[in-house]
Chain A
Amino acid sequence: MALIAAKLREIKARDITETVARLCQSANFELNEDVLAALKQAQQNEQSPLGKEILHQLVENARVAEAKNLPLCQDCGTAVIFLEVGQDTHVVGGGFEAAVTEGVSQGYTQGYLRKSMVSQPFSERKNTKDNTPPVIHTEIVSGDHIRVICLPKGAGSENMSRLVMLRPGDGQEGIIDSVLRAVDEAGASPCPPLIVGVGIGATSEGAMLLAKKALWRPVDQPNPDPEIAALEEELLSRINDLGIGPMGIGGTTTALAVHAEARPTHIASLPVAINLQCHCARHKEARL
């Protein structure tokens, strides 16, 4: 017993709290380099003059937000926290989930971030005042570290999420049609240009989680599987042909990237989950 215990690396609950608090703030203040580069590129390529002007504003917005520690967007989102917990770690000095929740509370309060969470969702809807609770996804992995990813998700884009349970025979064309329809019907609402997360396979909830996790990936990185990368490329091109454009007022830049992830599924299933991310693609991570 003692031998096994000795192998575990202790991680203080307080360190988890501090890390989450810091990430909630940096994610809201600093646009990641890959997204900023993609916006600048889009600004060059965009054919609509009004679209170009909007993209210019988005690049400027990132500069102002970082310089002034101002949220990129006033909708500082639901705090979605992913944690990859090494199986050789031992959290000490407090409860794991409580530590994460406290981190969100501190981060949103200290950073003057907007608190958007309401309690009972269909009747009382009372603001919880510190943006808790977060949505926490925990995965046990090998190793003695904890990887923390903070992805504040705005409601404008999240409200346009979709799950389609296709028939296996619908195949790749069925997937493409579903994604195009979701983006087209969402129009201006999710704040294009978008990053389109697509989760294919697994089960209904498994596909949704894949689609959300796909949003972590840098926008300049295609899926390592060439077949999925080709699907991403085709989807991106056809999404941009929809003409929705920046903020939906017409243009050639509707998405900056499509990130697809696929997993094995049941013989009778082909789940396709679509999670749209606005241009303000906030996510930051740290390793404990």
Chain B
Amino acid sequence: MEDGVTATQVVFWILAVVMLVSAIGVVTAGNIVYAALFFIASLGGVAGIYLILTVEFIALVQLLIYGSAVVILILFALMLTRARERPQALFGRSRPLGIAAALGLLAALIGGIVATTWTTPESSAAFEPVGLQTIGDAIFTLWIVPFIIVGVLLSIALDGAIMLASPDEDDN
């Protein structure tokens, strides 16, 4: 924006740098557990950006579901699948190719973003925060059927995960 850098933008960039640096840590860390810890920091950055965008509800959901449940699941999976005997390579043979593909994708995305004209609300006064009540109204009226379907799907998926991970008595 032309009217100088606001405090919100400074906080946004701090959070963005934290998020991106920890994301790089997730994909480059030499230790699996460090990668998971970097992932938590990255999720915190994303939640902070949700707060800057004034959607407290999504920030809360992010912290509750991702920051606690998903991270605990992942740490348990890391603990259960730890191969202790041999030190193993964390990266595949095609690593340079993967990095090149990611950079190519990044260039294409940023090229597309720069080439498009975006409209931003001019000032914070014109900007209207999305309240919790608006989101609740939308979810429980317009989106109630997808909401119920997602609930059923979540129950089925969690039951399936328990079935998958539990040892079977008849096979072994």
Whether chains A and B associate is: no
